[in-house]
Amino acid sequence: MEYSYPISPDWTTEEIITVVQFFEGIEKAYEKGIKREDMLALYRRFKQIVPSQAEEKSVFREFEEASGYVSYQVVKKVKELEDGEIIRVQR
């Protein structure tokens, strides 16, 4: 599947890499699963770049439209599960 990740022209190269890594974690949660603590670390770094709830929703929506993956579902599971558990989300 080919699509582009939502990025802001205001972000540095390092910030873009961090956001892309977060969305790759979202993809893993759907495709094969990802450890909760790994996804939580990716989400925390993502929130340093996208701290606003409104901006987060906008970026999540852009990613969902491009990929079909719902980031909110993965973030919700991160908050519900315990460390050591694997996050798997169905489409």
pLDDT for the residue numbered 3 = 87
Q: What CATH number does residue 48 fall under?
A: 1.10.220.80
Side-chain half-sphere of 84: how many Cα atoms within 13 Å? 0
32-68 confidence digits (pLDDT tens): 999 999 999 999 999 999 999 999 999 999 999 999 9
pLDDT for the residue numbered 90 = 86
| Mean pLDDT of the region 77-82 | 92
User: Distance of CA 53 to CAs 47, 48, 57, 72, 91, Å?
Assistant: 9, 12, 6, 12, 24
pLDDT for the residue numbered 11 = 97
Full residue range of the structural domain in which residue 53 is found: 13-86
Count of domains for the chain: 1
Quick check: 1 pLDDT over 70? no
Residue 8 resides in a domain: no
> Mean pLDDT of all residues in the chain?
95
